[in-house]
Homo-oligomer: A and B are copies of this chain.
Amino acid sequence: MPTTLPRPDPSRLFNVDCKLSYTLLDDTHFLFLVHALDGMDQVVVEESLRLTPAVEHELHADAVFGHRTLRLKATAGPLTLRYRARVRLQRPLPDRRAKEVPIEALPHEVLPDLMPTRYCESDRLASAASKMFGTMEPGYARVQAVCDWIHEHIDYRVGSSNTTTTACDVFLQRSGVCRDFAHLGVAFCRALNIPARLAVGYARFDTPPPDFHAVFEAFVGGRWELFDPSGLADPQDLVRIAVGRDAGDVAFATLFGPVRTRLIRPEVEQVRSRRARR
C-alpha cells in the first residue's frame, strides 16, 4: 500500500439528469441501476426520483460497494423514470507510477476479481495476454498499454455487439462498444493476475447521443484505478453508478417481462463555478 495517497483531484460537482421511458406490454418486474453511487470517491449532494405513473418501489444498497438497485413492479402501459442528482467527485488523481501488487500481497477481498466471468473469459485469453503484455514492466503503465492496444486494435462501432458478446468475441471480431472495450480490458488484466472489474456510470461524450458509460478498474498500487480503453471520456469525470465483476452485475436495467424501450437519455454535466472548477 502507498504510504502517501495521491493528492485528490480538486473536488468537482456534476449534475445528472437521467430519463428512461418504456411501454410495458404486461406486468413487468424491473431492476434499475441509475442512482449515483454515494460512497467511494464521490458524494451525492442531492437527488430526486420520479416514476410516472407513481409505482411502489424499493431501493437496495449493495452490501459491499453500496451501489443502489431500484426494484419495482409495474403494470402494462407506459412507465417513465426520471432521476436527477447533484454529485461531488472527490477522486484522487491517478498514480501513474503505481506498481502491481504481487499475488501473495493482494488483499483477500480483491481475489474474486482475478477470476473469469461471463463476459470476461480471462482464462481463455491467458496465453494471448501473456504473449502480448507479459514481458512489460508490471504496474499502471502496463494496464495503460493494455488500454492503448484495445484502443488501437478494436473499432468502436454501434451495433457490432449485443448482450451475449464477450471479451473473446471482441478480441476476434475487433469491434464493439464501450462495455466491450472495458470487458476486454478486464479480461486481459485478470489474465495478467491484475484484479480488474467493471465500473459504470454517467459520462459526457464529445459526440452525442448521451448513453450510460462503462469503463474498468484495475487494482494497482494498492487501490483501484479507473481506465477507459474506449477513450470516449475522461474516466476522472465518470459519475459512478456501480462497480461489478462484469456487465451482468451492473446492467442499468434488468427487465422481467415484455417491454418496449422508448427512451434512454442519461445526461450529465459538470457544474462550472469558481469553487468547483477543474
List the interface of chain A (C-beta within 8 A of B). 29, 31, 58, 60, 63-64, 69, 71, 73, 103-104, 108-109, 111-112, 115-118, 121, 123-125, 127-128, 131, 153, 155, 163-164, 168, 171-175, 193, 248-249, 256
Contact = CB atoms under 8 A, between A and B. Distances in A.
Given A104-B29, A118-B118, A153 B172 contact: no
Contacts of A173: 124, 127-128
Number of copies: 4
Nearest to A244: B112
Contacts of A69: 108, 111
Most buried by B among A118, A128, A163: A118
Given A118-B121, A164-B123, A172 B128 contact: yes
B131 A256 contact: no
29 contacts: A29-B103, A31-B111, A58-B108, A60-B108, A63-B63, A63-B109, A69-B111, A71-B108, A73-B104, A103-B256, A115-B118, A115-B249, A116-B118, A117-B117, A118-B121, A121-B164, A124-B172, A124-B173, A125-B172, A127-B155, A127-B173, A127-B174, A127-B175, A128-B172, A128-B173, A128-B174, A168-B172, A172-B172, A193-B256
B249 A112 contact: yes
Given A73-B104, A125-B172, A131-B153, 9 more contacts: A63-B64, A63-B109, A69-B108, A69-B111, A71-B104, A117-B248, A131-B174, A171-B172, A193-B256
A34 to B, nearest CB: 16
Nearest to A129: B174
A111 to B, nearest CB: 7
